[in-house]
Amino acid sequence: MATYAIGDVQGCHGALRRLLDAIGFGRARDRLWFVGDLVNRGPDSLATLRLVRDLGDTAVTVLGNHDFHLLAVAAGHAKLHRGDTLDQVLAAPDREELLAWLRQRPILHVEGNWAMVHAGLLPQWSIARAQMLAQEVEAELRGANWRDFLATLYGNMPDAWSESLRGADRLRVIVNAMARMRFCTADGTIELRTKGESVDAPRGFFPWFDAPARASRDYTLVCGHWSTLGLKLRPDLLALDSGCVWGGSLSAVRLEDRKLFQVPCEQCQVPGE
């Protein structure tokens, strides 16, 4: 039995199929971890969702910002952006079943000494604390009032974590950290405008995984989200967004021995981007 962590697929269904062939995936013996952003920008979000959903307990998926965006659009609380490729999902006959499945996905998965999140964790959050905060969001997303939660999802403020935060502000900061963050300060202020490489950090900010005294440093964090960072593999971090949808590659790491597998994704490159 092996567990493979897979980077941002973003609707690149063909690349995902080729990667599963490359790793010799066997459903009866192997498990797959997806770092989020199953959908959007690539050519076949619908087939990707169906494939991963149909894997059942063989696949663990955390929610990424594009997955949240799909849910918000479907709920009527966001509009499609230029370059979105979600129309097939929104028009699918099994749309409601797929969306219901997506709403049940976690935003943080912890197993052994591994923790998987789409974007990152704020430096003051231990893994135990992050799990409790993730559960607050997951309860809203899975509850009867999930559409009301999604109506308050968007926004960059508050931009810093505080235990005193309540309601929509509290949930928004949790989601922004776990699904959108790249840079933060040592005290947990999030910067969401900069999307460049790690060397492009604004003054006083760090890539979230390099923030001083990060409370989650005793775990290996598995994440995606940051295509301009590229593949970054180190003892405490597997950053797996290698830019498949931008014409890069789709990456998987076998957790047991950290062996890397990659397939090229030229056919997934977004036109005009």
pLDDT digits 0-9 by tens, 208-255:
999 999 999 999 999 999 999 999 999 999 999 999 999 999 999 999
| Domain contains 178 | yes
- Domain range for 124 is 3-268
- Residues 6+ away with beta carbon under 8 Å from 267: 14, 15, 43
What integer is the mean pLDDT of 184-206?
88
Domain contains 166: yes
Taking 80 as the threshold, does the pLDDT of residue 267 lie above it?
A: no
**Residue 245 is assigned to a structural domain of this protein:** yes
Note the pLDDT of residue 54.
97
Task: Answer yes or no: is pLDDT of 273 > 70.
Answer: no
The verdict on residue 243 lying in a domain is: yes
The number of domains in the chain is 1
**Band (270; pLDDT cuts 50, 70, 90):** low
pTM comes to: 0.95
User: What DSSP string describes 58-86?
Assistant: GEEE---HHHHHHHHHHTTSS-PPTT---
CATH number of the CATH domain containing 36: 3.60.21.10
How many CB atoms neighbour CB 76 within 10 A? 10
pLDDT at residue 148 in the model? 95
Residue 273 in any domain: the answer is: no
Grade residue 11 by pLDDT with cuts at 50, 70 and 90: very high
Residue 72 lies in a domain: yes
pLDDT in tens, 17-30: 999 999 999 999 99
Looking at every residue in the chain, the average pLDDT score rounds to: 95
Residue 250's SS3 state is strand
Strands 3-6 and 114-117: unpaired
Between CA 172 and CA 159 the distance in angstroms is 9
Residue tagged 């494939």 (tokens): 51
> Which structure tokens are listed for 52?
């991963």
Averaged over 136-153, what is the pLDDT? Answer: 96
Q: Place 86 in a pLDDT band, splitting at 50, 70 and 90.
A: very high
pLDDT, tens only, 94-110: 999 999 999 999 999 99
**pLDDT over 70, % of the chain:** 97
Cα 18 off chain centre by = 21
